[in-house]
Amino acid sequence: MIRSIFKLVLNHVKQKHLNIGIPVIIMNSQGEILLGKRSKNVLTYPDTWGLPGGLLEYGEKIEDAAKREVKEELGIEINIIKRSKNIYENIPNKECKFHSIDVPFYGKLVNGTLKPKDETKEVKWFKPSEIKNMKLAYSHKEILKGEGLI
C-alpha cells in the first residue's frame, strides 16, 4: 500500500532537479559483472537487475557515496579502482520519474560476504554475454555498453 501511495505522489509531482547517480561496476577474476536484483517493493525498476549503487547525498564525496551504497545494498566493502571517464544520463520515463547524471565507478571487493540488503533481493555474477539480452535498471545497460564491457 505504501508503494502505491508513493507511486501516486510521484506520478503527480514532477521533479525539477537533477540527481547524481553512482553505479559501481564490480568484476570478478572470471570477467563476470556483479548485478543486484531490485526488490518488488521499490518505486523505480522493481524486480529488475542493475549495478549496485545509488544517489549522491548532499555534502558527500562521490567516492564515499559509491562505497556507502555498495555496503548498504550488498553488505560488502570495496576499494575504488577508478572513475569512468564517461558520464551517462538517465532520462525520466514510465518506470522512473527521476532525472540523473550517472558517474560510474569501478570497484573491487575487499571485505565481506555478498548478501542482498536494503532494496536488493538477490545478487549474482553474470557473464557479459548474458547481460547483453537482459533488461537492466536505469541507464545501466548503456553504461556497460559504453564502457565496452558488453
What digits encode the pLDDT tens for the residues 72-83?
999 999 999 999
pLDDT at 8: 54
- What pLDDT, in 10s, does the model give residues 136-148? 999 999 999 999 9
- What pLDDT, in 10s, does the model give residues 122-141? 999 999 999 999 999 999 99
- What pLDDT, in 10s, does the model give residues 83-122? 999 999 987 777 777 788 999 999 999 999 999 998 899 9
- What string of H, E and C letters represents the secondary structure of the chain? CHHHHHHHHHHHCCCCCCEEEEEEEEECCCCCEEEEEECCCCCCCCCCEECCEEECCCCCCHHHHHHHHHHHHHCCEEEEEEECCCCEEECCCCCCCCCEEECCEEEEEEECCCCCCCCEEEEEEECHHHHCCCCECCCHHHHHHHCCCC
Pick the more confident residue, 95 or 30: 30
- What pLDDT, in 10s, does the model give residues 34-71? 999 999 988 889 999 999 999 999 999 999 999 999 99
pLDDT at 44: 87
pLDDT at 42: 87
For residue 31, the enclosing domain spans 2-146
CATH number at residue 29: 3.90.79.10
pLDDT at 6: 56
pLDDT at 11: 54
Q: Say how many C-beta atoms besides its own lie within 10 A of residue 148's C-beta.
A: 7
pLDDT at 79: 97
Total number of domains in the chain? 1
| 0.75 exceeded by pTM | yes
